[in-house]
A = this chain, B = another copy of it.
């Protein structure tokens, strides 16, 4: 019994496995690759960790073609992880369990050539809050702070404005019913975030995944928590 509780806690204790469990707290099923991206590690490594979690009956797997979807095997697992989360001092770390509506495609995806979904909307709101963009009826306008912000990211806004294409347009999001950033600036910003490895494209899908580096950067630069 002592042995068993020790094994259980050391299973949960590994940082990669913690990230896996914390990610799965939203109730969705994730593929091994998605979890590898979330945990910022290699496919081999995530495979090893996922195996241990399945062995211990914390997770279950469902094979679908060449993908494997992982989710909690029972709700007690979520309770335990949440109970640990409650121990962290400061603001409550709320994670909504079993929010099945919140599918990955709604959460973070591309819309033509720019970022959409909940993450796209959050980032756009962040840009406005940080006074990097200013909203008008039909457009976003770049402020002085905006020049600096995009300059730091090596995005040449001056050149973008020369294009015949619209520079920065609001685009209504079908899942969020709010606006996200489109236009040549939106496209350039998505490109930059992908090349800086803040985001990665899931294969054969419009789904985009925010890396841990991306989460950090988005928080540092825009005070956006994704």
A contacts, CB < 8 Å to B: 1-2, 4-6, 8-15, 18-19, 22, 56-58, 76-77, 79-80, 83-89, 93, 212, 215, 225
Contacts and interface: CB of A to CB of B under 8 A. Distances in A.
Copies of this chain: 2
A49 B76 CA distance: 28
A14 B5 CA distance: 11
Given A19-B2, A83-B76, A93-B1, A88 B8 contact: yes
Contacts of A89: 57
Contacts of A79: 83, 86
A58 B89 CA distance: 10
A1 B15 CA distance: 13
Closest 6 CB pairs of A and B: A13-B13, A80-B83, A83-B83, A9-B18, A6-B15, A4-B88
B15 A88 contact: no
Contacts of A86: 76, 79-80
B215 A88 contact: no
Given A9-B13, A80-B80, 7 more contacts: A1-B93, A2-B22, A5-B22, A6-B15, A12-B84, A13-B14, A76-B83
A87 B6 contact: no
Contacts of A2: 19, 22, 212, 215
A87 B80 contact: yes
Residue of A14, A83, A85, A89 with highest tally of chain B CB at under 10 A: A83
A22 to B, nearest CB: 6
Contact of A19 (B6, B58, B85, B225): B6
A87 B93 contact: no
A90 to B, nearest CB: 8
Nearest to A39: B2
A89 to B, nearest CB: 6
A205 B79 CA distance: 41
Nearest to A38: B2
B93 A5 contact: yes
Contacts of A15: 6, 9-10
A141 to B, nearest CB: 33
